[in-house]
Structure 1
Amino acid sequence: MGRELQRCLGSITNEQRKVYDVVMDVISNDRGGMFFLYGHGGTGKMFLWKTLSLQFVPRERLTTHSQFELPINVHESSTWSISQQSPQTELLIRAKLIIWDEAPMMCIYCFEALDKIMKSILRGDKLFGGKVVVLGGDFRQILPVLLKASRQDIVHATINSSPMWNFCRVMKLTKNMRLESCSSPSNVDEVKEFEDWILKVGNEDVGEQNNGKASIEIPDDMLIGDSEDPFRDLLEFVYSDLLSNMYDPDYFQGRAILAPTNECVECVNNHLMYLLPGEKKVYMSSDSMCRDEQTVEDNAEIYSTEFLNTIRCS
């Protein structure tokens, strides 16, 4: 781990190093605190999480739900199902750092519930019981998913609407490491232009029509006609000579079909899968109702896996 840490520190950027030093200083001096690392995809948040975790004995878990036993459907009075004598409690007491990625996707009640349980376990009034908690994510991506909620309800359910946000220090990463790592001296300008365009899309600042690309509108009668495969002509036009260009990235980068519903997407996928050579493999998902305190056992029997697989969302 020591050698891996030195390797990571050797390739860390100035932006990432600044964040690393701030977090490590707070941990070393046992001051506690809440931080939010704000950066769009490709800025190296995961690399920074890895570098920070190499300072300690890492304990990786897939989700906050499995780590903290958080209920799937949270509400204002939700609590974490952790016993005072459990291994999870001992882990939280000994923990030096809690890293919570993709935090903008989580409901505000998740963080407030963790704050309550940490204060209870550590018997203190400091935020998160005085532990160092580093959140990460991008507010331009997916926000909490709330059933039949309005835009205002969703905004109010995000972490930056919580009173805790007043005590949070926001740090930013702006350099797109993912794009730069795959760029060459010949396409630096193209990569930089693409990076700026991605940010404009996220900020809703893009005003060009189709970005200078040609587009084809599908007539309504083509979507509701009697043809078994209404997209055949369109697909053959957009993806002409598909088999001879399958391994050319530029071929796919210059083509796209915007489909308004999952039904249209399925038609496109089925047709393209039919054209591709080789044996098709189908990987089934695990479809079942969420088991929680609000789920009645009878409902779980009614909504079987077979029934759930027949649902086609708009």
Structure 2
Amino acid sequence: MPMPVKDWNFETSNRLLWEHRKLMHDGLQAKAERDFSKLNSDQKYAYTVIIDSVLNDTGKVFFLNDPAGTGKMFVYNTIVAKIRSEGQIVVMVASSGIASLLLTGDRTAHSTFKIPFDVMDDTVCGFKKNSNHAELFRKTKLIVWDEVPMQHRFCIEAVDRSLQDIMENNKPFGGITVVLGGDFKQTLPVVPKGTREQIVGASLRNLNLWSQVEVLSLVKNMRLDSSDPENIKFAEYLIKVYFLIKSFIQFDFINFFNKLYILILYFQVGTNPEEKVQVPENFTRCKDAMELISKVYPDLNVKEKLTQQYLEERSILSARNDDVSALNGSTINLFLGELYEFLAADKVIEEDIEVENRGNQIASENLNSLDLPSLPRFNLQLKIGCPIMLLRNLQPRDGLCNGTRLMVVSCGTRVIEAKILNGSHAGDLVFIPRISLIPTVTETPFPMARRQFPVRLAFAMIINKSQGQSVRYVGIDLRNPVFSHGQLYVAFSRCTSSDRISVLLPNDNDNTTTNVVYPEVLL
């Protein structure tokens, strides 16, 4: 047999480096040049300054301010194709599982940087100087981190602290060029039972190195068809939702006094975090939940139409978990097929061994009745072909992230076979086992575990979970109005066209809804 010509032990000794080198291929240079010619002026400027920082090793930190539909993902991919065509390693991550599925590599920030779940102001990441992760980051030229404004600032500071340590460099992120992307108009970090001050304090704007971040902005909305007057009007409406001023766009910016008047009016209105906004007339108004379901999911009783594409391009959004559970329950009853029921096994985790029979103090019926957002339901009801959402990071590199949407293919006693609906792994068949899940300490007054399939029905989802994805048909349940910054903007901007949005408002409503904006976090 011929002798090997490569040192394969060296090539495969670090699995993480090997995975990133697999992303480099001969066609990247041509792809980068082709995509660069399609960029608009704002996108080209962002591309140029980021590439310049990487190639000259200046180690700058950028924030790409990218409102919904401005083509940030296209800019990311063009930049990454150029850097990888030069043989350099790029690490791409996102703050949420759904957003990570749109990136090459399908990784969340927590899984890539080993960020602890409970972060403090002095937290460091969970990798050591001599680990494979440290070796990967030493060879990394660019880090792209998408949807950062929804991440707690302690997470970014932990990564900065750890990279400075392993690189032995006091520059931000150890001298690696970093692109933080996102939109401050969208949802902020979730602080359980947190006040407005705590939520604002956890946002990226209060990052300890924010003064060293160079802000790049994308303005033109590429998602909405600019040839359609209704879509142009909808894009302007999204800006009004952002600024809380219904007549903001009508002022003349050339006149200095008008500028001053707008500024004063903005801060007068902006200090009030809640403002009623008019729902656009071209949105389809629904009378009840069943009509909303039928508008977004028509022909649920026609088996031939229930395809992967049908489920992929539809979603119902709501601000509250209870409303989402009710919508999913109503929709699964309309869905064709045999109903499969999976019962979980709940138990209390005994922490204090000196307390006898602690588990007996809490009846199993009480545990079974708990419907916590981070856990699957005790009585999980599924049908073949229905959409589900994964609740844990099972295998991020294979597309199984927290938030991944899948379609059920078959149901077994110990495993569910499903097909991934979105991301670079769309269409892949995967198996989901039963696992033991533990809720966060803030959700229950006592530690417990639930053994169940880590999935929930995904006909409807909460607005926060939908951030980072776009669909063709959106239904928005506003019977209970939004309650945190950016939720309304995220809900309205998930659809690629304004005439495919259906809304459900209270029966006695005058076609208005509450908008919540914290002006102090906006750029």
TM interval, shorter chain, is 0.7 to 0.9
Aligned match of 2:116: 71
CA drift at 1:210: 3.8
- Alignment-mate amino acid for residue 236 of structure 2: D
**1:216 and 1:135, CA in 2 relative to 1: closer, same or farther beyond 3 A?**
closer
Q: Which residue of 1 aligns with 2:194?
A: 149
Equivalent position of 2:138 in the other structure: 93
Relative to structure 1, the CA distance from residue 96 to residue 217 in structure 2 (aligned partners, 3 Å threshold; closer, same or farther) is: same
Counterpart for residue 202 of structure 1: 242
Q: Confirm or deny: 8 A CA contact 1:89 1:121 kept in the other structure.
A: yes
Secondary structure at 1:134 match in 2:
strand
Deviation of 1:195 after TM superposition, in Å, equals: 0.8
The question of whether the paired residues in 2 share the 8 Å contact of 1:103 and 1:135 is answered with yes
Q: Please, what TM-score do these two structures have when normalized by structure 1?
A: 0.74
| CA–CA distance in structure 1, aligned partners of residues 111 and 217 of structure 2 | 28
The structure carrying a bigger helix percent of its residues is 1
Would you say 1:289 and 2:438 are equivalent positions? yes
Report the Cα offset of residue 126 of structure 1: 1.5
The superposition leaves residues 62-106 of structure 1 with CA deviations (integer Å, 9 ceiling, x where unpaired) of: 111111111112111211111111121111111111111111011
Structure-2 separation of matches of 1:168 and 1:262: 36
Where does residue 399 of structure 2 map in the other structure?
none
1:38 pairs with 2:184: no
How far 1:306 sits from its partner (Å)?
5.6
Q: What is the aligned partner in structure 2 of residue 3 from structure 1?
A: 30
Q: Percent identity?
A: 31
Alignment root-mean-square deviation, CA:
3.8
Q: Can you give the 5+ residue segments of structure 1 that lack an aligned partner in the other structure?
A: 219-230, 248-256
Conserved? CA contact 1:140–1:203, under 8 Å: no
TM-score (norm. length: structure 2): 0.47
2: CA distance, partners of 1:70 / 1:31: 26
1:19 has 2:46 as partner: yes
Alignment of 1:107-118 (within 5 A): 107-118=152-163
The answer to whether 1:47 aligns with 2:81 is: no
Q: Cα 1:308–1:61, aligned 2, differ >3 Å: closer, same or farther?
A: closer
Return the alpha-carbon distance in structure 1 between the equivalents of residues 163 and 389 of structure 2. 39
Residue number in structure 2 paired with 1:164? 209
Q: Give me the whole-angstrom Cα distance separating, in 1, the residues matched to 2:145 and 2:284.
A: 42
SS class of match (2:223): helix
Contact 2:146–2:182, Cα closer than 8 Å, also in 1: yes
1:194-246, Cα deviation, whole Å (9 max, x unpaired): 1111222233334654444796888xxxxxxxxxxxx6xx749996xx659x9
Residue type of the alignment partner of 2:52: D
Contact 1:100 1:135 in 2 (8 A): yes
> Alpha-carbon deviation of 1:156?
0.8
Report the CA distance shift for 1:237/1:136 in structure 2 as closer, same or farther (over 3 A).
closer
- Among candidates 141, 144, 169, match of residue 124 of structure 1: 169
Cα deviation code 1:92-131 (max 9, x no counterpart): 1111111111110111111211221122122222122221
The answer for the alignment partner of 2:450 in structure 1 is 304
- How many pairs does the alignment contain? 278
CA distance in 2, matches of 1:162, 1:24: 24
Structure with the higher strand share, 1 or 2: 2
